[in-house]
Chain A
Amino acid sequence: MNFLEDEVAKYERRVKRIKENPDPHKLKSNLLLYEMWLDFRKRQLKDWKEGVPFAYLSGGGVQPELFRAMGFQVLHLPMTADRAGSNAPRYFEIARQRGYPDNTCDRIQVEMGLAFSGEWPPPSFVTCFSGECLPITYGSYWIAEHFKCATYAMDFPIEDRGDDGFQYLLKQFRELVSVAETVPGIKFDEAKLGEYQRKIEANHSLQMEIYELKKQVPCPISGKDALRMAGRELLDDPRYIEYYELIRKEMRDKIERGIGALPEEKARVMWVVSAPFYADPFSFLESRGVAVPVYDAGMASGERREYVPPDDEKRHGRRLSPLEYMAFTAAEGTQGRTPGPKAERILKNCRELHLDGVIYFMLSGCMPEIGCGRIVADRLEEELGIPTLLIDGYCLDSAKYNQTDFESKLDAFVSVLLARKGIPA
């Protein structure tokens, strides 16, 4: 069974399980999310069999909708690798045997192992995006070298430099499109990209409403659900918007009935960077009375709070074309850049959601995030008097995880939070 077939089987099991025995603490909309992923994986398998060209993507600045608008099927490398689950060690082994660093981000190790394993459809195009982190950049560069396919390296400026940065990225997006169009059967349809962007805009409004609902105490969403995201790979699914509408409805219902994700909310924290996907630290925190309403980059995280639509004439001076708008949103991104904008966003989340602390997952090998950790913690303490737990870990390498040790650190942090609030543990 290849990776995509595994995924299909996994989502079929999950859908069946939820239908037969739903967990009352989890969102009902999860069923819809799993059904969407199931259909997407089936579609990928079908496209693979039919010879549809695949584009491998990485990094947040080059989004799936651009490639879908060119006629590619897409595979987002790290986001897909995140779903390797218990198969991850197999892919680590493949990457490490080839000599790749075993102390780098484990998501990238799995991604590379998967790409070389033959369990993913081979790419016709690979994009290397230098903006998020170098393991992501080098991982895709290596994969492009391995498959000797069409590729484009997108160079990303360090800071948001306004119009200069936008123009630089726009020129590169145009080059990327011309390189991609050398792949047989590929033709960029800008109107289609515009359609996707309108869908994203509608979704953004819903996300902001969901974000507002997270301010309620008790929090109407569990930590694990806050971490979930329906990736932009799912944009083609007609239920994409419906999924977020359903979440909003569920949260509203819970608020009306005074039901929270945990029976007695004593404190609330933000979870930052990433998480150990093989463990459930959120349920552990909830068992101690700590809610996690918001995750750094997940659903309604507030990451894109200052949404500027393409027709904002005040900002752009005119309506941007879809490709221009793609460059604009990429230029505005904060991931992997200097910690200032990231810290500002976390501070804002903490103020607006009345958070008591931040848990910063120091993902081993993720240099931009590790390098920011202490800086963010200093600022939270100095500006808001909020403590931060910097906790080391891996997303996928469960062999390096010690549950007792990890939970002891969380527990000690919870004690600090509660003591600061004068609440008995």
Chain B
Amino acid sequence: MVQDTITAEKRLKRLCEAGQEANRFNWAKEWKTQGKKVIGLVDTYIPEEIIYAAGALPWQIFGTWRQNVPLASVYRPPNTCRYCAHVLESFRSGQLDFLDGAVGSDWDDDRRTLWSQWTHLKMMSFRHQLHVPVKDSAVSRLEFIANITRLREVVEEFCGVKITDQSLADAIGVYNKMRALLTRVYEMKKRDVPPLTGAETLGLTTAALVMPKDEFIRELEALLPYLETRKPSVTSPHPRLLVSADRLDNPAYIALIEDAGALVAMDDMDTGSRYFWKEVSLNGDPLTALAERYLTKPACPRMLYWKGQVNQVIAWVKEWKIDGIVNFTLSYSYPRLFGTPYLRDQMEAAGIPFLTIQREYYLGSVGQLRTRVEAFVETLAEDF
């Protein structure tokens, strides 16, 4: 029994650390040794299932966690989105040379220009840019279906395979399985004392972003029975927080909050819940089903329906018994920076304590962050 626990903990640790900068490339490189292609993505609005159905590995691109990005700075001054700067640094330093291609999007102006910089610098032989509408209406839904149909065509051409409706349905099935498993993990986080910390949870979801889905599913499926009965590292109720952020892939940020005496029980992050929330329907045309899922999944502030985003967060707050929200804005990433006053006002109106902290992409200004988080947690902890 003790041995089983040790093995399971090791397995969990390995999975939780899969998204760390030191490890995140391993699966992709292994994949390539089998003669298969790896295609990077910069946005969770790009339907990965299409790439997976072509036999390529969809791999969410993250940047180096190093502070300095001298190679990127030539094309991206310091007053531009820090995620994109660190990604460009990784490209220019050769860290991402293993990628066969990449799909960009117009998630925001910076990601749009990131794609232009790849093109200008002739990076990778395959580059495609997907337009994701900023709204969901009958007209924009058709537009998105047309755009992902085009994505399917270019991926087919690049990979030299036909993506049939059946292969797409199979890929959707695999992704839905991953979504269902992660949903079970998040269900466990509703407990007063969950079996996983917030940092561990982000470790799991970021593993899903870079690992082949079959392998991730196998690992998580094997771990779930253990997680159901795992002894929590936290023993007493803490203030329960929800973290809102975009492209936050470093669990150290979450650990910093939890070290201050809080428990991150839920998130509103594209590297967390928003990555896997909502399954794709297996009925009807698969591209239509994909368009429906991707345009109606829990929205980020990039989409022009902030009210829907607010309602989703409030619903999570109620369901996960959240005491407060930490809203991590990323330097020079405007969707969240602009959306924040709206989110703050709505949360305050709903009586939900709300703290906004601006962060860098790399883990920086730790002392300052810690002080602010501690002060926030202290105000919440008065009720505990």
Contacts and interface: CB of A to CB of B under 8 A. Distances in A.
A100 interface: yes
8 contacts: A134-B108, A139-B338, A141-B306, A142-B342, A153-B135, A158-B129, A371-B76, A371-B116
Interface string B122-139: 000000010101110101
Interface stretch (A226-234, A256-264, A359-367): A359-367
B67 to A, nearest CB: 19
A370 B75 CA distance: 9
A128 B344 CA distance: 22
B342 A370 contact: no
A99 B341 contact: yes
A99 B106 CA distance: 25
A339 B120 contact: yes
A375 B341 contact: no
A390 to B, nearest CB: 8
Interface string B155-197: 0000000000000000000000000000000000000000000
A195 interface: no
Nearest to B135: A153
B304 A128 contact: yes
Contacts of A104: 334, 337-338
Closest 4 CB pairs of A and B: A371-B113, A367-B109, A138-B338, A99-B341
A164 interface: yes
B77 A370 contact: yes
A367 B341 CA distance: 21
Contact of B338 (A100, A153, A155, A158): A100
A225 B138 CA distance: 46
A137 B305 CA distance: 12
A100 B74 contact: no
A2 B332 CA distance: 32
B146 interface: yes
Interface string B80-95: 1100000000000000
B212 interface: no
Contact of B304 (A133, A153, A159, A374): A153
B117 interface: yes
Interface in B96-116: 106, 108-110, 112-116
Contacts of A139: 338
A155 B337 contact: no
Contacts of A378: 120
A103 interface: yes
A138 B337 CA distance: 10
Given A101-B337, A103-B332, A378-B120, A371 B342 contact: no
A159 B119 CA distance: 14
Given A104-B337, A372-B116, A375-B75, 9 more contacts: A99-B340, A103-B79, A104-B334, A135-B334, A155-B143, A367-B108, A367-B332, A378-B120, A392-B79
A153 B305 CA distance: 10
Interface string B273-309: 0000000000000000000000000000010101000
B304 A368 contact: no
A336 B114 CA distance: 13
B295 to A, nearest CB: 11
B272 to A, nearest CB: 23
A339 B118 CA distance: 12
A365 B79 contact: yes
A371 B338 contact: no
A168 B337 contact: no
Contacts of A368: 109, 112-113
Contacts of A171: 139
Contacts of B340: 99
B285 to A, nearest CB: 19
A135 B133 CA distance: 16
Contacts of B335: 134, 138
Q: A138, A168, A172: which has the most chain B beta carbons within 10 Å?
A: A138
Given A130-B134, A145-B342, A371 B334 contact: no
A14 to B, nearest CB: 34
Nearest to A133: B109
Contact of A155 (B108, B134, B339, B344): B134
A98 interface: yes
A339 B133 contact: no
A168 B337 CA distance: 29
B44 interface: no
Nearest to A108: B338
Contacts of A365: 79
A98 B348 CA distance: 14
B77 A137 contact: no
A367 B334 contact: yes
A23 to B, nearest CB: 36
Contact of B143 (A130, A168, A362): A168
B109 A336 contact: yes
A175 B137 CA distance: 11
A367 B110 CA distance: 6
Contacts of A135: 334, 338
B304 A137 contact: yes
B138 to A, nearest CB: 9
A56 to B, nearest CB: 15
Interface string B321-341: 000000000001011011111
Contact of A371 (B117, B131, B140, B146): B117
A203 interface: no
B112 A371 contact: yes
A338 interface: yes
B294 to A, nearest CB: 14
Given A101-B334, A145-B342, A374 B139 contact: no
B80 A158 contact: no
A371 B334 CA distance: 14
A104 B112 CA distance: 17
A157 interface: yes
Interface string B25-63: 000000000000000000000000000000000000000
Contact of A138 (B76, B80, B119, B334): B334
